[in-house]
Structure formats: C-alpha cells, structure tokens
Amino acid sequence: MAISLPELPYAKDALAPYISANTLDFHHDKHHNAYVTNANKLIEGTDLANLDAEAIIKKVAGDASKAGVFNNVAQAWNHSFYWKCMKPGGGGVPTGAVAQKINADFGSYEKFVEELKNAGATQFGSGWAWLVVKDGKLAVMKTANADTPIAQGVKPLLTVDVWEHAYYLDYQNRRPDYLTAFVNHLINWDFVNSCLG
C-alpha cells in the first residue's frame, strides 16, 4: 500500500484529559483510517500508486480533476504529521533551536501562541493551523479542509487539527479551549525541533 495508517506514537489514553481516548479512537481508527483507505483506492492502478504521499500531494495540487486524490492523500499526510506534534506532558514554553527562532521571528513565545490560537480559532469551518518555515522565517498559517503547506512548497513544523472531529467529543463547540489545551499541554517540541532540522 502506498499510503499507510501509522500507529499512534502513544497510548490512546495518554493525552487525557486534554484529548480523550474516545476522541483518539474515532479520530485515528475511523477518520484517519478512512482517508488512508480512500486514498489507496483512488491511486490504485494509476501512475500515482508508487509515489509517497508528499510527492502525490505536490503532483495533484491545483488539479480539479484530482481533487478527490488530493483531499484524501493530504488528509492522510496531515493526520500522520499531527499525531507526531503531540505527546503526553508536552506543551508550554519550547526548548531548543525553535525557542530561539520563535523569539527572533515572532518577538516572543506569547506572541506566537496568540497567532497560532487566532489562526486555529478563525479558520472558518474545517481545517488546520500551522507553524511553518516560509522564506527562511517562522510563520503561522491556516489551511482549509485538506489543504496543507506541503502543497505550497512551505515547510511545516507543527500543526493542530481544527476539524470538529478533533475536539467535539471533548470540547463540543469550544474550539478555543481545545487550542489552549493543545498549546499548554500537548505540543511535542522535540518533534518540532526535529522538523526544523
């Protein structure tokens, strides 16, 4: 299979109470799994079947006739990335090289948090908020639905899923509370630093 469903890098109950085992059960085993299954069905027997997810995303981005492939492969990739952006006991002030980059490019950690939460809270409908490297500087961006910085040649360092399926069982309509919990308790800064390279 060209696109695979990775195991979660922690136990289903490891992110509780900020994200429950119930949410991870549905989000990983049902939602993410469905994107992977659909993606594989759509690329099977085509010239995309031997490419990895990132190459497929770049190849079909902007092609209206391949929107189904783009949506499912990008969602598969975005979710695989999102799981790695969290860890039990994560969040709070960053460490390592990214801490210095955040201070240099945003002015302070607090300003970065404000921008990330604002991007997540104001993404109308479904989508994602991101910390990315754009033109050599850190920046916050948001994408709608399945869209991903990868498609735009922008390097992602961190993402938070703001589709309702990511938080509705735990927070109902309170998306800002989910974003606060993500920032304060879940971000895996070691992973972010590893992406910074």
Nearest of 132, 182, 171 to residue 23 by alpha carbon: 171
Does residue number 147 form part of the binding site for Fe ion (CB under 5 A)? no
Give the binding range for Fe ion (CB under 5 A) out of 44-52, 88-96, 160-168, 179-187: 160-168
Comparing CB distances to Fe ion, the nearer of 28 and 117 is: 28
Does position 163 interact with Fe ion (CB under 5 A)? The reply is: yes
**Near Fe ion by CB under 5 A: residue from 161, 182, 187, 189:** 161
**Contact call for residues 137 and 107 (beta carbons, < 8 A):** no
CB of 135 to Fe ion, least distance (A): 28
Q: Count the site residues for Fe ion by CB under 5 A.
A: 3
Joined together, the tokens standing for residue 179 give: 């974003």
Report, in Å, the least distance between residue 182 CB and Fe ion.
Answer: 13
Give 86 or 166: the residue with its C-beta nearer to Fe ion: 166
* Residue labelled with tokens 């895996």: 188
Scored b (16 or more CB within 10 A) or e, 41-56 reads ebbeeeebeebebeeb
Q: Work out the angle between the directed axes of helices 53-60 and 67-84 (0-180°, nearest 10).
A: 140
Chain positions 50 to 69 lying near Fe ion, rule: CB under 5 A, are none
Query: Contact residues for Fe ion (CB under 5 A)?
Result: 161, 163, 166
